[in-house]
Amino acid sequence: MKIFNALLSVFLVGISVTISGQAPQLMSYQSVIRNNTNNLVANQLVGMRVSILQNDPQGTPVYIETHAPISNTNGLVSIQIGNGNGVAGSMLTIDWSNGPYFIQTEIDPEGGSNYTITGVTQMVSVPYALYAENAGNSTPGPQGIPGEQGIQGEQGEQGLQGDPGNGIVNTIDNEDGTLTFEYTDGTAFTSPNLQGPTGPAGAQGQTGETGAPGPQGTPGMPGPQGVQGLQGQDGTSACDVIKTGDGRIVIYSATNARGFGFNEISGSSWVSTSLEGDVLGALASDSTVVIYTTTHAYGFGRNNISGSNWLSVALSAPITGYAIASGRIVVYNETNAYGHGFNAISGSSWYSTSLNGAPIQAVSGGGRIVVATTTGGHGFGYNEISGSSWVSTNLTGTLIEAVGTK
pLDDT of 32? 87
Backbone φ and ψ for 236, nearest 5 degrees, come out as: -125, 10
Burial class (CB in 10 A: 0-12, 13-18, 19+), 269: middle
7-132+166-190 CATH fold: Immunoglobulin-like (2.60.40)
pLDDT, position 183: 85
* Backbone phi, psi, residue 75, to 5°: 75, 10
When pLDDT is averaged across residues 205-209 and rounded to a whole number, the result is: 80
pLDDT in tens, 326-337: 989 999 999 999
**What H or E segment, with its residue span, contains residue 388?**
strand 387-394
pLDDT of 70 reads 94
Ordered by start, the domain boundaries in the chain are 7-132+166-190, 240-394
Q: Angle at Cα 151 formed by Cα 150 and Cα 154, nearest 5°? A: 130
Q: How many residues does the chain have?
A: 406
C-alpha dihedral over 36, 37, 43, 46, to 10 degrees?
A: 0
Distance of alpha carbon 223 from alpha carbon 260, whole angstroms? 44
* 130 three-state secondary structure: helix
pTM beyond cutoff 0.95: no
* pLDDT above 90: percentage of residues in the chain: 43
Helices and strands of the chain, counted as H and E runs: 1, 27
Instruction: Give the Cα separation of 285 and 288 in Å (integer).
Output: 5
H or E stretch covering 133: helix 128-134
Q: How is 283-349 classified by DSSP, letter by letter?
A: EE-SS-EEEEESSEEEEEEEETTTEEEEEEEE-SS---EEEEETTEEEEE-SSEEEEEEEETTTEEE
Query: If you compute the radius of gyration of the chain from its CA atoms, what whole number of angstroms results?
Result: 35
- Each residue of 346-383: pLDDT tens digit? 999 999 999 999 999 999 988 899 999 999 999 999 99
Is the model's pLDDT at 17 over the cut of 50? no
Q: 270 pLDDT exceeds 70?
A: yes
Q: In the prediction, which pLDDT does 21 show? A: 39
List Cα–Cα distances, 43 to 75, 81, 188, 362, in angstroms.
Answer: 7, 21, 24, 43
Q: Mean pLDDT lowest for which of 166-180, 254-268, 325-339? A: 166-180
pLDDT number for residue 142: 62
Least confident of 32-46, 300-314, 384-398: 32-46
d(CA 253, CA 278): 10
**pLDDT at residue 340, rounded to an integer:** 96
pLDDT of res. 71: 92
Helix (H, G, I), strand (E, B) or coil at 121: strand
Model pLDDT, residue 7: 42
Handedness of CA 393, 394, 396, 402 (dihedral sign): positive
Are 159 and 48 contacting, i.e. CB atoms less than 8 angstroms apart? no
